[in-house]
Structure 1
Amino acid sequence: MGTKRFQFNTETLQYEQRSASWFQRVGRITLKTVLSIGMGFGLMLAYSLVFDTPRTQNLKRSREEMLQQVAMLQDLVQSASSQIGIIERRDNQVYRSIFEADTIPQSVRHGGVGGVDRYADLADVPDGVQIKHLMENLDQLQWRTYVQSKSFDEVARLAFEKDQMLHAIPAVQPVSVKELVRISSLFGGRRDPITGQGRMHAGVDFVGKTDTPIHATGDGIVIVATNSFNGYGNQVIVDHGFGYKTRYAHMNRILVHEGEKVKRGQVIGAMGSTGRSTGTHLHYEVLVKNKPVNPLLYFNDMDEEEYEQMLAHAEMQDLD
């Protein structure tokens, strides 16, 4: 309740209550309003300094949850980094070693994330250091995964080529042991059966009956299947890739055509005595980078004892 004000009336010689002017009344009301608002704001400010507002509490709760998630992701990244480290070591020491591939240096496996700082802006953000560290670790993990994936691609390719090579190398006899009569001439220098002069025999001669099946000794593509005029008669040449070729000469019949893909063990012809030959046999050659080598060195389908027996029973009779 406001203070009453009085003034002395000289005419009535009495104190009379003085009425406030309109301006005074408005001023008093305004002052009270301003004081009330100021007091309310002050109380709210004091409360906010002592107690968190619901919005502040939500923000703090969200920040704590975010930091917990960042810490959890850091643990997951660290675990993944350890796991890929095991794979990287196994890749270098085992897989790449088996296929004689160069190891991948650590500088390559852990590189690729340098240059411009992609997360420099996070330095000015609250808790930005932790987030920046997490993002950088994720980038490096992504790079290491990419490098390892490319390494596995290379190892898979090498394994495929190795498997192809193992199937392509001429590693078996061209004539079945059951159908082989004997070996008449081995690889090396010998007497020419027609001229009687010494010359190099570039293959091995397998003696058998006419039309004895002749088998491809490795996977490959037929590049020659014709009657030649250089003494080989009906001959087949198979390109096995990887620098290997095989020649099958003096056939009675050719059962494949040029450009045909053949598999190891596939029948490609029949034994005969065509061309420069004095008896039914197969002249078989193995060429490495177009140079003849001893075919016996590639017969993986016989053990040492069988190999020695074959040499002991070989009758050095020259047929071509």
Structure 2
Amino acid sequence: MSKVKYYYDSETLSYRKIERKKRRTFKYISLFLLASALFGFLFVFIASQYIESPKEKALKRELSNMQLQFQLLNKKMDETQDVLANIEERDNAIYRLYFEANPIPEEQRKAGFGGINRYKDLEGFDNSKLIIESHRRMDILQKQIVVQSRSLDEIATLAKDKEKFLASIPAIQPVNNAELTRMASGYGYRTDPFTKVRKFHFGMDFTAPRGTPVYASGDGVVTRADNRATGYGKHIRIDHGYGYVSLYAHLYNYNVRANQKVKRGDLIGFVGSTGRSEAPHLHYEIFKDGERINPINFYYGNLSAEEFSDLLEKASLENQSLD
């Protein structure tokens, strides 16, 4: 129960009861409520600035964890970039060089992404810079991996072609050294055995007894096995692909036929003295893109360094050919 208050009225010389007006009471209540509201708002504001709610703490931990994950991601991208850079260096300096392919330009490997802003949706956040940079690096890394993957696919194809090329080109002596009497004449100017005139000899003559086996010097397809070429007598021609053709002349007999596929080292015929020949021997020629070239450079497959040196010395002598 509220207390009743009085005041002393000097005119009537008596105590009179204090009557509180309703308007004033409403005013006091309004001021109290307003002050309370302001105080409450101020309290909430200060609390929000200095006191974290459980939800805010959880979000803050989540944000901190996200930043840590992005930092770890960037570290892993650095490591991946180092590994990829090593592969790219070997790709350009070893693999592509060995297979005679042009190196991939650096600007092509590490080109960025021009044009539209592909990271616009990631802008406007507190960590937008970190997120955008991570996405950008990831995109460039993915592009580099795609470029490198395609390069390795190309290298694999070139390796298969190289393997086929190395198996195809002439690379062995067509007559075994054990069955060879001597290397009679090499590529270059020699004396014609019939006219005694100095003329150019376009092949190499290997002297051997009649019937000595003759072997294919590389993989290929027999294009001719006949005696319809002037001077060669019975002869065989093998197309090795890549512009190379080998010719084996003055044969005694054939062991292959036209259009037959042969492998390096296959027995294709036998030494003879057919056609324009002075004695049993094998006349051996190599064509590259239709031009006859020196066969001396195509024996790396079965001759040692000493044997090749001896053959080179004998082939360089300007003597009399056998055809």
Measured against the shorter chain, the TM-score band is 0.7 to 0.9
More deviation, 298-307/140-149 = 298-307
- Please name the residue that 1:181 is paired with: 181
C-alpha spacing 1:299/1:57, structure 2 compared with 1 (3 Å): same
Q: CA deviation at 1:183?
A: 2.9
3-state secondary structure, aligned to 2:172: coil
Between 1:110-119 and 1:270-279, the stretch displaced more is 270-279
Distance 1:99 1:164, change over 3 A: same
Q: 2:10 — aligned with what? A: none
Q: Per-residue deviation at 1:283?
A: 1.2
Q: What is the distance in 1 between the residues matched to 2:321 and 2:285?
A: 15
- Cα pair distance change 1:126/1:315, threshold 3 Å: closer
- Change in CA separation of 1:182 and 1:124 when aligned onto 2, cut-off 3 Å: same
- Partners of 1:313 and 1:52 in 2: CA distance: 96
Counterpart of 2:310 in structure 1 is: 308
Equivalent-residue separation in structure 2 for 1:315 and 1:72 (angstroms): 74
Aligned counterparts of 2:124 and 2:70: Cα–Cα separation in 1: 17
Q: TM-score, normalised by structure 2?
A: 0.75
For residues 28-62 of structure 1, the C-alpha deviation after alignment (integer angstroms, 9 at most, x for no partner) is xxxxxx99xx99x9799579736544443433332
Q: Which residue of 2 aligns with 1:10?
A: none
Unaligned runs of 5+ in 2: 4-32
1:114-135 deviation digits (Å, cap 9, x = unpaired): 2221111211234222111110
Question: Which amino acid in structure 1 is aligned with residue 322 of structure 2?
Answer: L
**Structure 2 CA distance for aligned equivalents of residues 200 and 232 of structure 1:** 16
Residue identity matched to 2:244: Y
Q: What is the RMSD of the two structures over their aligned residues, measured on CA atoms?
A: 3.5
**Letter of the 2:113 counterpart:** V
Equivalent AA in structure 2 for residue 254 of structure 1: Y
1:141 corresponds to which residue? 141
Deviation per CA, 1:138-163, whole angstroms, max 9, x where unpaired?
A: 00111111222223233334444433
- What does the per-residue CA deviation read over 1:199-252, in whole Å, with 9 as the maximum and x for residues that have no partner? 332111222222211011122222222332423222211122333221011222
Indicate how the Cα distance of structure 1 residues 42 and 318 shifts in structure 2: closer, same or farther if over 3 A, else same: closer
Q: Which residue of 2 aligns with 1:120?
A: 120
* Structure 1 unaligned blocks of 5 or more: 4-33
1:280-299 correspondence runs (5 A): 280-299=280-299
Query: For 1:75 and 1:308, how far apart are their aligned partners in 2?
Result: 61
| Aligned equivalents of 1:206, 1:235: Cα separation in 2 | 14
Give the aligned partner of residue 218 of structure 1.
218
CA apart distance, 1:302: 4.1
Quickly say closer, same or farther: Cα 1:2–1:217, change in 2 above 3 A.
farther
Aligned to 2:269: 269
Report how many aligned residue pairs link the two structures: 289
Question: Which residue number corresponds to residue 108 of structure 1?
Answer: 108
Task: Please give the alpha-carbon distance, in whole angstroms, between the structure 1 residues aligned to 2:249 and 2:139.
Answer: 62
Contact 2:185–2:315, Cα closer than 8 Å, also in 1: no
1:55-204 equivalence runs, <5 A: 55-204=55-204
Q: In structure 2, the residue corresponding to 1:245 is in which secondary structure?
A: strand
Shift in Å, 1:136: 0.2
**Secondary structure of residue in 1 paired with 2:240:** strand
Contact 1:183-1:314 within 8 A present in 2 as well: no
TM norm structure 1: 0.76
- Aligned counterparts of 1:42 and 1:127: Cα–Cα separation in 2: 30
Provide the rounded CA distance (Å) in 2 between the counterparts of 1:315 and 1:63. 87
Are residues 114 and 257 of structure 1, via their aligned partners in 2, closer, same or farther at CA, if it must alter by over 3 Å?
farther
Q: Distance in 2 between matches of 1:241 and 1:144?
A: 36
- The CA distance in 2 between the partners of 1:82 and 1:191, in whole Å, is 64
Query: Is the contact made by 1:251 and 1:282 (CA closer than 8 Å) also made in structure 2?
Result: yes
- Displacement of 1:295 in angstroms is 1.8
2:185–2:319 contact (8 Å) kept in structure 1: yes
Change (3 A) 1:204 1:147: same
Q: 1:190 to 1:106 in 2, by over 3 A?
A: closer
Which amino acid letter does the alignment assign opposite residue 290 of structure 2?
N
Partner of 1:31: none
* Bigger mean CA deviation after superposition, 43-52 or 162-171: 43-52
Q: Is the 8 A contact 1:113 1:143 kept in 2?
A: no
CA contact (8 A) 1:182 1:315 kept: no
Q: 1:239 to 1:2 in 2, by over 3 A?
A: farther
Supply the distance in 2 between the matched residues of 1:313 and 1:68 (Cα, whole angstroms): 74
Distance 1:285 1:313 in 2: 16
- Distance in 2, Cα, partners of 1:89 & 1:196: 59
